[in-house]
Structure 1
Amino acid sequence: MTAVQASDDTYHTNGQHHFNGKAVYHSNGTQNGGSALPAAFSKDVFSHLTLFTGNTMVTGTTGLLNSTAKKSNQELVSAIDHTLNWSLESAQIHGHAITIADNATLGPLEDDRSKYEITVKLFFLSPHGSSEPLSVDHLHNAIQQLEAALSVTSGNLKIDHFILAIPNQTFDENDLDSSEIDQFTEDVQTLYLPIWKRLSELQQTGRIGRLGVSEFSKQQLEILKAAAVQVGAAVPQINQVNLQDCCVLPKGLIDYAKAEGIELLTHGDSSDILPKSTLASLLQPHLPATSASLLEPNFVLKYSVLITSRGLISRKGYIVDAGSE
């Protein structure tokens, strides 16, 4: 996995030795069923974290809590917790950046790529009220990290379905009023269009198949389409809606989607999939100094790999990226 390789430096932090970017542990305690207590990280403060969960289909962290019957981030929380408990000892370090990966269940696909269908959902986790456009750099990093998780050469990964989840977006079956329409139109132009244009370029080069969004109403889809057409970008082809937000999809949305060729899908993801406080509480037993810092989640990438001939998911996992200013 190229993304989790560290430099060949040997260095010291707080009296602990690190060789080849990998922490050396002391067997002075146990944590969570016998895994080593990471004494080497007890006082280290990391300004960047990348965490690759294992394949939740085999680690036991996939379950009904993340089905369409519930809206929950429990699967992600369980997967992060499992990875911290069992994979921290193989963490890779670059300066003040740490990468933690469940390498036992990552790696190349078992069969020819044509036999699989890869779906990605990228959750941007900008703070509420942020006026910064969604980061194209974060998008590039997310794709590179997925390539690393699947052991694909950089630039060669084909994503069949890509869903963009914008921050703080929840589905509203009611029509927007004029002020809400104006605000969403401004947000699309200033916050979302740059990254949508980049996704469209990746689609045009064949690196992405179908593009979609999550929790958009009919009016919001219309606004995004109008803005995209104006700049020659792709129009949305998928819209995910959580039925816990809306028990029955509005007829107007259904009719619009049918007319525009937009596939409506349901999902069970929480709109606030990884709050800063949740990440801090997960890190605290393992990276106590880091968990007390200003580490903010940047994005969560959720991916699944479907065996098309059998209709079965063979892989499902998450990539978490967080940093401090």
Structure 2
Amino acid sequence: MTAIQTPESLQGPTYSRNYEGHSHYSKQPRTRTQPVAFAQETFSQLTLYTANTMRTGTTGLLNTTLKKSNQELVSAVEDTLLRSLESTQIKGSSITIADQGAIGPLEEGRSKYEITAKLFFLSPAGASALLSVEHLDKAFQNLDSVLSTSNLVVDNFILALPNQTFDENELDEAELEDFKRDVQQYYLPVWRRLSELRMNGRIGRLGVSEFSKQQLVILKEVALSVGAVAPELNQVNLQDCCVLPKGLVEYAKAEGIELLTHGDSTNILPKSTLASLLQPHLPATSASSLAPRSVLKYSAILTGRGLVTRKGYIVDAATA
């Protein structure tokens, strides 16, 4: 795999950041560097590693009134595309764009950090689809790559199902049957693979995002029936409910499930958003046809000081 570095001038808006940390576009054009090969290629596979958002300032975007947003991801992708096209890697119809400054081993050694990863599986709104074990394995390979290691142990791993939102109200019988069917037909292969990684020590604690008590019960029941593990973590966005339901809190306590809060958007990277981000940089055919399959969000906390030193996103996209 070789880097394509032949420059070509391209006009587009200047990307800048104001004093509050919000990203915006100015009206002044700027010159971008774009490999000539981009104008001649149609890409069917994209992998993008964002910069470390703790160093670029994009993490500060969440310290606003936006409590449930994908703005951090969008800004990180924008920033990476503007900084890192010169080191783009092209192999056949696959393209990898990576901020090289974000790739490398943890500065103080793995044992000093707590690593958390959250994998968002993406699919068209309202559609149920089989989650890909291959995409899951690729996410772990990408995480190994960004931290320059092999068989990295992830202390906390969260699975975010497509279109999953938290509902504090009780599901009726038909809704429960639908959810159980989805778990059995679409989600179980990936959960079984995650369970293997948990039991083999590659994952410290395994969890889900936006599950109600009833859904946690169903996942545990289905998982145990096939020898998989029950969830140990459950992330909930408190904008979906002001106070966690008492039944969920009591069930989590009884089952040893830690309840966590987050500010992630459920639809973290719509296809239209990715297309608009790629359009100034890739050929129009690739920008419009590449659909995001998953987003992996990761962070590394220096445990002795409680300091987040590494945080970023890995986007995986492909043509249908």
TM-score (norm 1): 0.90
Alpha-carbon distance in structure 2 between the residues aligned to 1:22 and 1:298:
25
Counterparts of 1:164 and 1:256 in 2: how far apart (Å)?
A: 20
Q: 2:296 is matched with which residue: 274, 296, 301?
A: 301
In 1, Cα distance between equivalents of 2:91 and 2:77 = 21
Q: CA deviation at 1:35?
A: 5.8
Q: Is it true that 1:222 corresponds to 2:217 in the alignment? A: yes
1:116 counterpart = 2:113: yes
For 1:137, give the aligned amino acid: E
What is the one-letter code of the residue matched to 2:73?
Answer: L
* Paired letter, 1:22: I
* Aligned position for 1:163: 158
Q: 1:281 aligns with which of 276, 279, 284?
A: 276
Q: May I ask how many residue pairs the two structures share in their alignment?
A: 305
Checking the alignment, whether the CA contact within 8 Å between 2:43 and 2:286 is kept in structure 1 is no
TM-superposed CA distance for 1:289, in Å, is 1.9
Amino acid at match of 2:142: Q
Q: Return the letter of the residue paired with 2:233.
A: I
Cα drift, residue 24 of structure 1: 1.4
Greater Cα offset, 31-40 or 97-106: 31-40
Say if 1:160 and 1:209, in contact at 8 Å, map to a contact too.
yes
Indicate conservation of the 8 Å contact 1:304/1:313, yes or no. Answer: yes
Q: Does 1:266 align with 2:261?
A: yes
- Structure 1 equivalent of residue 89 of structure 2: 92
Q: Which residue of 1 aligns with 2:139?
A: 142
Partner of 1:37: 33
Query: Over residues 172-204 of structure 1, what are the superposed CA-to-partner deviations in whole Å (9 max), with x where a residue is unaligned?
Result: 000000100000000010111111010000111
Taking only the aligned residue pairs, the percentage that are identical comes to: 65
Q: The residue matched to 2:143 in structure 1 has which SS?
A: helix
Which residue of 177, 181, 186 corresponds with 2:176? 181
2:4 maps to which of 15, 22, 37: 22
CA shift digits 1:87-110 (9 cap, x unpaired)? 011100011111000001321111
AA of the residue aligned to 1:269:
D
The residue identity in structure 1 corresponding to 2:223 is A
SS at match of 1:320: strand
2:239 partner letter: Q
Query: 2 CA distance for matches of 1:271 and 1:222?
Result: 22
- The separation in 1 between residues aligned to 2:65 and 2:172, in whole angstroms, is 29
Query: 2 CA distance for matches of 1:210 and 1:99?
Result: 30
Q: What SS does the aligned partner of 2:169 have?
A: coil
- Consecutive unaligned residues in structure 1, runs of 5 or more: 1-5, 7-19
TM-score, normalised relative to structure 2: 0.91
Could you tell me how far 1:37 is from its partner in structure 2?
3.1
Alignment deviations for residues 277-317 of structure 1 (CA, whole Å, 9 cap, x no partner): 00000001111424553211000000000000000100000
Deviations 1:229-266 (A, max 9, x none): 11111100000000001110000000000000000000
C-alpha distance in structure 2 between counterparts of 1:66 and 1:290, whole Å: 36
Contact map agreement 1:67 1:267 (CA 8 A) in 2: no
Q: Which residue does 2:306 correspond to in 1?
A: 311
Give the C-alpha shift of residue 39 in structure 1: 5.2
Higher deviation after alignment, 114-123 or 128-137: 128-137
* RMSD between superposed Cα atoms in Å: 1.8
Does the CA-based 8 Å contact 1:124-1:300 persist in structure 2? yes
Checking the alignment, whether the CA contact within 8 Å between 1:171 and 1:215 is kept in structure 2 is yes
Q: Does the aligned pair in 1 maintain the 2:233–2:257 contact within 8 Å? A: yes
Alignment partner for residue 210 of structure 1, among 197, 205, 209?
205
Alignment partner, residue 21 of structure 2: none
